[in-house]
A and B are shown apart, each in its own frame.
Chain A
């Protein structure tokens, strides 16, 4: 088969399975995750193309994005019903509370880095 047909068939299968298996709440998390990823890539491209002069500012921005990405992925993991046996004793409210705490720590430090 031609490579494009291959790629398209993979993409279609993925989209179908994703739409079926993911609840709307998790889709919100995924949208957030995609946003952070694109933002981080944008920052990286900027650093490569234009230069890294205030390097601490670049690190601050990059870590803020990567960090929120990781935290949202973790939140999504803890929220997905399939994973509940692994996270005994953590209710969804607990998860969100921890998420906010980590976000506060991360963003506070990132703003400090941006100088």
Chain B
């Protein structure tokens, strides 16, 4: 302490004394002062750009609010909204201990311990802060506008991360890219109140803290990244990506010979604090230390300790090291094998290979129907890469090449992140979301490197060209390249805006079409049906439907549902699937056992809405068939193996409950003048069985465009 401190003190004191003694009239402002001005200009530009990006990122995501109203979209956000209302109105204790009896009818769901609370806690915090300052903003509006708010935050942390890995110019470009990239907008429009709204911000935040920590070797940044990781674990199940990516990065660094003490400090501090924090989330619980999906982190942690200890011993033992090593290795290896065997035998370490995590490592083994049925879990088609990333998908490999050339700690991190994110983006459509930020960062590096080279040339011509003509030629080329990039940026903005407007701003619960005269026709049938349920059924009525609509029903009609989008109980869903696929008598028996009062189906044949239950019907059959062997998929296909609803449909299909509920009284309806009655506008066929009566259920309500159909389950007749 004494040595270093004194030196610093001496160094600080001396120059001051010199300056005051030697100050003369010849002391003109030196170039460093000019640079100071330039850097204040830079800081102003940075603040201005980031401020504008906040506004742009917020405003671009408001299409659906402007077109329809401020409502919660899709399915999952409705559950998140319900949970947030519980948190805000009942308190944190009630939220963590909340057992929801309104869902999964006979079973219920312990929400407090099966949900990632970060989103609700964030909204609750913002709500209470606003109310503390007497801004009485409704909780619904806080939830709807949370995602656009965090988009600006994501741009900010992307700027900081790219600045640490490359430079400030690339950082600004990366922030600009990520503010409007469609891959991120798709899950963060106003109204999409889902975990990804805050999770992407949390991921980049954690990475930023970690890269800063690796660059400087300070523990406070590692602690920051651990706290950011804590927020990430609270926010989304995708935290598994971080806790596996960072060990891979550290392991890679050690393998290529870039081990340094800074890396050790950064990762060890992050691991200890981060794991402790991740145990705080009840949903994760002890899986953070037991589950095999989390095992990469402690293994690399042990590797780092081992590396460090070896270095320490080498410094002190010198030539005796080899001898020591031989003794210790034999002792430790036997010990380690014994411990691992004991862990396996006692069941402490779980080595099963099922579930969503291992599906991502081996996408070909897609055997579980319930995971296979989700559309966003399908493999990504190549076109959606350009759709979601625009020309960044072309610049990303260029950025990777520049990172390879640069080869600093930060660049290697971006490479690791980029390559793994690309792999996962190819596995599932939904994971393009994870790829979008790093694609922006790598593309920004490519753009920044290229543009800085050519803009310097454009200003003063190439240094090597003495000839005036070739000087002018290189200037022209440089200007052309700069113009080209300008055009690409304009194209990017137009592309992003158009895609946000057309593809990602639909609330899914309100549909819109253009009428015959070009006027806008709004289909608000979903809310009509749910509102009817809320106002016309008993408080304790139980509603059966396919699991897609569970969250929306629970949120908007406030009634008990049987199955919903949190598909945790496969058997229960299979029971509902079997019920929908059986004949009316079998279905009635099952419904009586489950105490069902109302059944809800979604039918699109009247208006041509193609995401209805008849189009999805093969999935209830498959999922039901995976548990109950009497439901066989080929029974519902006709003799040629086709899935049809017209006269060529199979008998089992025409007898099934789903068919009857969807097409009840549909045979009397004329949907189109060129076809006879009962023409299904989605399947483009006249239905096979037009006049049938329902004996066990009766129609309770059908919405204006026949989209939501609700049936009441009849009571058994009194005997005698």
Query: Contact between A6 and B272 (Cβ–Cβ < 8 Å)?
Result: no
Cα–Cα, bound, A56→B260 (Å): 34
Name the CB-closest residue of A to B286.
A55
Please, what's the 1-or-0 string for B216-241, where 1 marks a CB less than 8 Å from any CB in chain A? 11111011001100000000000000
Residues of B within 8 A of A81 (CB): 3-4
Query: Contact between B279 and A59 (Cβ–Cβ < 8 Å)?
Result: yes
Name the CB-closest residue of B to A106.
B273
Q: Which of B260, B269, B286, B289 has the most CB of A within 10 A?
A: B269
Query: Which of the segments B101-109, B317-325, B453-461 contacts the partner chain?
Result: B317-325
Residues of A within 8 A of B4 (CB): 81, 91-92
Task: State whether A25 and B1 are in contact (beta carbons under 8 Å apart), knowing that A59-B289, A73-B308, A87-B261 are contacts in the complex.
Answer: yes
Size of the B side of the interface (Cβ < 8 Å), in residues, is 40
B206 at the interface (CB under 8 A from A): no
Cα–Cα, bound, A74→B270 (Å): 12
Q: Which of A59, A70, A95 has the most CB of B within 10 A?
A: A70
Q: Quick one: which of B3, B223, B262 contacts A105, CB cutoff 8 A?
A: B223
Query: Contact between B268 and A102 (Cβ–Cβ < 8 Å)?
Result: no
Please, what's the 1-or-0 string for A74-111, where 1 marks a CB less than 8 Å from any CB in chain B? 11011001010011111110110111011001100110
Residues of B within 8 A of A89 (CB): 216
Q: Quick one: which of B1, B265, B286, B317 contacts A77, CB cutoff 8 A?
A: B265
Residues of A within 8 A of B227 (CB): 105
A34 at the interface (CB under 8 A from B): no
Cα–Cα, bound, A48→B317 (Å): 34
Task: State whether A17 and B219 are in contact (beta carbons under 8 Å apart), knowing that A77-B265, A86-B261, A106-B276 are contacts in the complex.
Answer: no
Q: Measured between C-beta atoms, what is the minimum distance from A7 to chain B in Å?
A: 7
Cα–Cα, bound, A73→B276 (Å): 18
A14 at the interface (CB under 8 A from B): yes
Q: Measured between C-beta atoms, what is the minimum distance from A79 to chain B in Å?
A: 9
B27 at the interface (CB under 8 A from A): no
Cα–Cα, bound, A95→B265 (Å): 11
Query: Contact between A6 and B327 (Cβ–Cβ < 8 Å)?
Result: yes
Please, what's the 1-or-0 string for B1-23, where 1 marks a CB less than 8 Å from any CB in chain A? 10111001000000000000000
Q: Quick one: which of B219, B289, B315, B317 contacts A71, CB cutoff 8 A?
A: B219
Q: Quick one: which of A13, A21, A70 contacts B320, CB cutoff 8 A?
A: A13
B98 at the interface (CB under 8 A from A): no
Task: State whether A10 and B324 are in contact (beta carbons under 8 Å apart), knowing that A87-B261, A102-B273 are contacts in the complex.
Answer: yes
Q: Which of B275, B315, B324 has the most CB of A within 10 A?
A: B324
Please, what's the 1-or-0 string for A16-52, where 1 marks a CB less than 8 Å from any CB in chain B? 0110010001000000000000000000000000000
Cα–Cα, bound, A10→B324 (Å): 7
Query: Contact between A90 and B218 (Cβ–Cβ < 8 Å)?
Result: yes
Cα–Cα, bound, A77→B269 (Å): 13
A57 at the interface (CB under 8 A from B): no
Cα–Cα, bound, A87→B120 (Å): 40
Please, what's the 1-or-0 string for B270-308, where 1 marks a CB less than 8 Å from any CB in chain A? 001101110110000010010000000000000000001
Query: Contact between B265 and A92 (Cβ–Cβ < 8 Å)?
Result: no
A-B contact pairs, 7 of them (CB 8 A): A6-B327, A10-B317, A13-B320, A70-B268, A87-B217, A90-B216, A98-B220
Name the CB-closest residue of A to B224.
A101
> Which 3 pairs from chain A and chain B are nearest by CB?
A98-B219, A17-B316, A98-B220
B643 at the interface (CB under 8 A from A): no
Q: Quick one: which of A10, A25, A73, A109 contacts B323, CB cutoff 8 A?
A: A10
Q: Quick one: which of A7, A14, A17, A94 contacts B218, CB cutoff 8 A?
A: A94
Cα–Cα, bound, A10→B328 (Å): 12
Query: Contact between B220 and A97 (Cβ–Cβ < 8 Å)?
Result: yes
Residues of B within 8 A of A106 (CB): 272-273, 276
Q: Quick one: which of A10, A56, A75, A109 contacts B277, CB cutoff 8 A?
A: A109
Query: Contact between B320 and A9 (Cβ–Cβ < 8 Å)?
Result: yes
Q: Which of A7, A9, A17, A110 has the most CB of B within 10 A?
A: A17
Residues of A within 8 A of B63 (CB): none
Cα–Cα, bound, A91→B286 (Å): 38
Q: Measured between C-beta atoms, what is the minimum distance from B229 to chain A in Å?
A: 12
Q: Measured between C-beta atoms, what is the minimum distance from B535 to chain A in Å?
A: 46
Cα–Cα, bound, A29→B323 (Å): 27
Query: Contact between A77 and B264 (Cβ–Cβ < 8 Å)?
Result: yes
Q: Measured between C-beta atoms, what is the minimum distance from B599 to chain A in Å?
A: 44
Residues of A within 8 A of B279 (CB): 56, 59, 113
Residues of A within 8 A of B1 (CB): 25, 92
Q: Quick one: which of B218, B226, B277 contacts A98, CB cutoff 8 A?
A: B218
Residues of A within 8 A of B289 (CB): 59
Residues of A within 8 A of B324 (CB): 10
Query: Contact between A90 and B217 (Cβ–Cβ < 8 Å)?
Result: yes
Task: State whether A78 and B280 are in contact (beta carbons under 8 Å apart), knowing that A73-B308, A90-B217, A98-B223 are contacts in the complex.
Answer: no
Cα–Cα, bound, A74→B217 (Å): 9
Cα–Cα, bound, A93→B424 (Å): 43
Residues of A within 8 A of B286 (CB): 55, 59
Residues of A within 8 A of B268 (CB): 70, 73-74
Residues of B within 8 A of A97 (CB): 220
Q: Quick one: which of A3, A6, A21, A91 contacts B315, CB cutoff 8 A?
A: A21
Q: Measured between C-beta atoms, what is the minimum distance from B4 to chain A in Å?
A: 6
Cα–Cα, bound, A13→B633 (Å): 75
Other 12 A-B pairs with CB < 8 A, given A3-B327, A105-B227, A109-B273: A6-B327, A10-B317, A25-B1, A67-B272, A70-B268, A71-B272, A73-B308, A74-B219, A81-B3, A86-B217, A98-B218, A99-B219
